[in-house]
Amino acid sequence: MSDPENTMDRKAFLTKSAVLLAGGAALANSALSYSRIAGANDRISLCHIGNGSRGEELDVIASQLKTSHNVEMTTVCDLWRVNREKAIATNAKYYGRTPRGFQYFEDVLALKDVDAVIISTPEHSHSPILKMAVEAGKDAYVEKPMGNVLAEAKAARDAVTKSGRIVQVGTQHRSEPYPRAAYELIQTGVLGDVSKVEIVWNYHGPRWRGRPESKLIREADTDWRKWLLTKPYRPFDPQMYCEFRLYKEFSSGIPDQWMSHAIDLVHWYMDDNFPRSVVANGGIYAWHDGRENADTFQALLEYPKGFLVSYSTSFGNDAPGFTRYMGKKATLFNIGGEGSPLYQLVEEKGNHEDDPDVDKQRSSKYVLLPGQTGIPPMGIDDMSTEHMANWFECLRSRQQPHCTVQTGFAHSVACIMAAQSYWSGKKLYWDAASETILDHA
Ligand SMILES: NC(=O)c1ccc[n+]([C@@H]2O[C@H](COP(=O)([O-])OP(=O)(O)OC[C@H]3O[C@@H](n4cnc5c(N)ncnc54)[C@H](O)[C@@H]3O)[C@@H](O)[C@H]2O)c1
């Protein structure tokens, strides 16, 4: 565990080196160059807040980087005793030292020897905890969506900007090699003018019902009022606690869970961050199990640069997923659902008016990594380490990571608008100047 005094010294040093890096071309700004500066070998002391299902994955990921990036999970924090104790035990195995366990994140934020926090609580608490974390001087990795209440997401973004803390938002595909290769390809202008992006990610099953934890959890083992955080009191409900993705006060479901990943990539690839307007529809057609959120959902988002995005998910049928960026010169296909590394570029070769046989002349190629010959796989799990590694590197270099709080705010706005449009039945407009959602143009 870090020594509090030394950690404070190091923190002051990190801030100082960040100023130098920002201001001076003389200093190279990579983690490597930082590692040559005195004090850089200090271990980064982490606390993980929210040790549930995604939390277990993030613990594995962080532990895989413990030596290469010199980090240690010194502290874990979860309201629920069972998950907290599990996280203490697994992290003790990963690091060979037992981390401290806390029930309340406020107590963790008061610890001087914690440098940075990982936040993987349910989405209704992401922005409020992020805001408090940076105000307490902690750097943070926060799961997606960054927020699902506009005022809270704004407040968190403003607090991060003011604090100068290094925040990575958990849309990890931005750090993975194939999406990055696709991004580079798009930057060459190979697609021509893109007028439409179509995304279809399906799944057959009553997703997110039936979490085994719902049958395990007892109110006495957690703190329900603290779990609700900013929401009005209601009686304890174990399904709401563990299957929050199905309940609209806590999550919008498909937009918060999946569209956040999808739209984040669109924003990055198209360099257009806020929709001009959004309209969405859907319903509960496949799984009548008491859920409030749609199991079938589609949103249409229009962007200022002049293109339309269609995002669609069905939980009642597994028809293969895809994303396509449709340009005048080529189409970029991402074959498969969320996070698929399989990208294919298909030429357009002109239009049908000029040549009725144009579709027979279109060549195609896969997007490959340097030196690669085979076809990439069609799916990956959520265990890629690059995003966490990028954050760790930025903690040392004080550079901005791949998914900043600005990009997190942008995906949050798109998802909040989609959810609000679905619930209200109205087409909604983003007023960029006032950062508000309007129901008229
Ligand atoms: N990036 C990805 O690919 C990915 C994948 C899965 C989940 N996620 C995100 O991770 C988040 C968590 O999902 P999950 O399935 O792990 O949920 P979960 O319910 O399994 O875990 C959440 C944990 O947080 C704890 N918790 C809740 N409020 C707390 C608070 N105020 N202080 C301390 N602990 C608190 C709960 O007790 C629980 O143990 C979701 O918002 C989801 O969007 C991201």
Residue nearest to atom 38 of ligand 1 (CA): 52
* pLDDT recorded at residue 21: 28
300 CA → ligand 1 middle, Å:
28
Q: What percent of the chain has pLDDT over 70?
A: 91
The residue whose CA is least distant from atom 7 of ligand 1 is 54
Residues with CB under 6 A from ligand 1: 49-55, 77-80, 83, 105, 120-123, 125, 143-144, 170, 172, 222, 226-227, 229, 242, 257, 382
Contact 50, 103 (CB under 8 A): no
Q: What is the amino acid identity at position 321? A: G
Res. 24: pLDDT tops 80: no
Residue range 407-426: average pLDDT?
98
The residue length of the chain stands at 441
d(CA 127, ligand 1 centre) in Å: 13
CA-proximal residue: ligand 1, atom 18 (nearest): 52
User: Ligand 1, closest atom to CA 123?
Assistant: 41
204 Cα–ligand 1 center, Å: 23
SS (H, E, C) 157-200: HHHHHHHCCCEEECCHHHHCHHHHHHHHHHHCCCCCCEEEEEEE
pLDDT at 352 over 60: yes
Q: Which residue, judged by its Cα, is nearest atom 19 of ligand 1? A: 242
Q: Which atom from ligand 1 is nearest to the alpha carbon of 229? A: 31
- How many Cβ atoms are within 10 Å of 227's Cβ, its own excluded? 19
Return the ligand 1 atom nearest residue 83 CA. 39
Query: Which is more confidently placed, 87 or 39?
Result: 87
- Mean pLDDT, residues 419-433 taken together: 98
Q: Residue 41's pLDDT band (boundaries 50, 70, 90)?
A: low
**pLDDT at res. 215:** 97
179-193, 232-246, 285-299, 377-391: which range is least confident on average?
A: 377-391
Nearest to 42 by CA among 391, 387, 392, 389: 392
* pTM of the predicted model over 0.85: yes
| Mean predicted confidence (pLDDT) in 150-175 | 98
pLDDT digit string (tens) for 79-95? 999 999 999 999 999 99
Walk across the sheet containing 167-169 and list its strands: 100-102, 71-77, 44-49, 116-119, 139-142, 167-169
Q: Is the pLDDT reported for residue 40 higher than 50?
A: no
- Report the distance separating Cα 51 and Cα 36, nearest Å: 34
Q: b/e per residue, 347-374, with b = 16+ CB within 10 A?
A: ebbeeeeeeeeeeeeeeeeebeeeeeee
Question: In the prediction, which pLDDT does 37 show?
Answer: 37
Query: What's residue 373's pLDDT?
Result: 86
| Chain segment 224-280, per-residue pLDDT in tens | 999 999 999 999 999 999 999 999 999 999 999 999 999 999 999 999 999 999 999
Query: What spacing in Å lies between the alpha carbon of 244 and ligand 1's midpoint?
Result: 9
- pLDDT score, position 381: 80
pLDDT of amino acid 380: 75
Per-residue pLDDT, 12: 35
The pLDDT of residue 325 is above 50: yes
CA 148-154-155 angle, to 5 degrees, is 105
Most ligand 1 atoms within 8 A of CB, residue of 76, 90, 120, 132 to mutate: 120
Structure confidence by residue, pLDDT tens digits, 57-116:
999 999 999 999 999 999 999 999 999 999 999 999 999 999 999 999 999 999 999 999
- Per residue in 178-232, pLDDT (tens digit) is 999 999 999 999 999 999 999 999 999 999 999 999 999 999 999 999 999 999 9
Report the 10 Å Cβ neighbour count for 375: 12
The answer, yes or no, to whether residue 355 has pLDDT greater than 50, is yes
Q: Poorest-confidence range of 21-35, 103-117, 149-163, 303-317?
A: 21-35
Q: What's the 125 CA to ligand 1 centre distance in angstroms?
A: 9
In testing the pocket of ligand 1, which one of 78, 240, 385 has its CB within 8 Å of the most ligand atoms? 78
The mean of the pLDDT values for the chain is 91
Give the residue whose CA is nearest to atom 21 of ligand 1.
52
